[in-house]
Amino acid sequence: MKTIIKNLSAVAVIATATLISCNSPEQKVENAQNNVTQANKDLDTANKEYIADIDSYRKQTDEKITDNQKSIDEFNARIANDKKAAKEEYEQKITVLEQKNTDMKKQIDDYKADGKEKWETFKAEFSKSMDDLGKSFKDLTTKSSK
């Protein structure tokens, strides 16, 4: 008898839990609508963060590009009194670096938001190019001061 009562109690508990956990079609639709609303909010937040990241990175690179241009101007002023042959060599090198600096500015200005994955790839490649350009400026100015 005790076994029968225990079994009936267990079946009753399971049946009650099953009935309680079942959602009506209206509840399922409401839950789905809530999920879509939340997903849209999350997507909007992610897009805002993505655009903010692009803007922030553009500002950072603009500062670097401006710093590079200042280095060019300072370097040109410093080599003004160098010998003609050395001056011509430096001017050729600085022209190449100046063009790369201009190209980098154009590249970041022309970038269109085209997805987070593409942005991360672009950002990594662009950062490497900016670092290489900065190193080239540093190498040139270090050589000229020796």
CA 108 to CA 21: how far, in whole Å?
A: 54
* pTM score: 0.64
pLDDT in tens, 53-62: 989 999 999 9
pLDDT in tens, 29-52: 778 788 878 878 888 888 888 889
Count the helices and strands in the chain (H runs, E runs).
4, 0
Question: What pLDDT shows up at residue 13?
Answer: 64
**Which of 2-6, 40-44, 122-126 has the highest average model confidence (pLDDT)?**
122-126
Domain boundaries, the chain: 31-145
